[in-house]
């Protein structure tokens, strides 16, 4: 049992037994230079497969409380893009880091842990969908939350490709 895999760092392609992980945690706590960070293209992933420097877009409304949505996405270097979002609705909020994706996105799943999409555009669209789901289910419903929903929907609309009908002949 001692040699069973305890922690897997997919972005670095490493697996740790419980003893190896304990030793790694002790060593890296004493010396930040020993922390495992994997660079994939322009993105850095930590030892728990969270992107440290994703692409970020924040939409915010100023006021007594901060209302905002932050969309985040990153290339995992394996043909998949990952996404996440943070949000605050004045009296509540949430969010998550952009995790390393190692399997294709499946709409039928309810838990999208480790799932990614094949393009940056799809990752942005999924980040918008996640933000809209959270905002529409927010405990607080007011005009600012509705304005955030409209801002995300407008951004999502701008992302969609515009098709132009070409004409073969000039009549």
pLDDT (average), residues 117-138:
95
Only one residue has tokens 């877009």, namely 57
How many angstroms separate the Cα of 30 from the Cα of each of 7, 33, 89, 105? 20, 9, 38, 38
Does the pLDDT value for residue 160 go beyond 90? Answer: no
Q: Where exactly are the structural domains of the chain?
A: 5-36, 55-159
pLDDT (average), residues 102-106:
92
Q: What percent of the chain has pLDDT over 70?
A: 96
Q: What Rg value do the Cα atoms of the chain yield, rounded?
A: 20
Does the pLDDT value for residue 3 go beyond 70? Answer: no
Query: Which pairing describes strands 81-89 and 93-95: parallel, antiparallel, or unpaired?
Result: antiparallel
Token duo for residue 62: 């100023």
Distance between CA 86 and CA 89 in Å, rounded? 10
Token duo for residue 163: 């098709």
77 forms bridges with which residues in the sheet? none
Contacts of 74 by beta carbon, 8 Å cutoff, 6+ apart? 43, 51, 53, 54, 55, 81, 82, 98, 123
pLDDT digits (tens, 9 = 90+) for 34-62: 888 999 999 999 999 999 999 999 999 98
pLDDT (average), residues 91-96:
89
The count of other CB atoms within 10 Å of the CB of residue 137 is: 8
Does the pLDDT value for residue 2 go beyond 70? Answer: no
Distance between CA 3 and CA 11 in Å, rounded? 21
* Residue 150 three-state SS: helix
User: What's residue 103's pLDDT?
Assistant: 93
Helices (H) and strands (E) in the chain, counts: 3, 10
Banded model confidence at residue 152, pLDDT cuts 50, 70, 90: very high
44 forms bridges with which residues in the sheet? 39
């Amino acid at each position: 049992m001692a040699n069973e895999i305890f922690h897997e760092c997919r972005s670095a392609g490493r697996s740790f037994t419980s003893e190896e992980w304990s030793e790694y945690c002790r060593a890296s706590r004493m010396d930040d230079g020993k922390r495992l960070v994997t660079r994939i293209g322009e993105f850095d992933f930590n030892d728990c497969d969270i992107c440290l420097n994703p692409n970020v877009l924040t939409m915010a409304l100023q006021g007594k409380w901060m209302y905002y949505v932050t969309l985040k996405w990153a290339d995992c270097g394996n043909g998949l893009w990952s996404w996440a979002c943070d949000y605050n609705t004045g009296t509540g909020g949430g969010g998550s880091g952009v995790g390393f994706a190692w399997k294709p996105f499946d709409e039928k799943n309810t838990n999208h842990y480790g799932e990614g999409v094949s393009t940056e555009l799809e990752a942005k669209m999924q980040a918008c969908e996640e933000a809209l789901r959270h905002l529409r289910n927010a405990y607080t419903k007011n005009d600012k939350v509705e304005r955030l929903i409209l801002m995300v929907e407008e951004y999502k609309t701008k992302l969609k490709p515009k098709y132009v009908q070409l004409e073969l002949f000039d009549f």
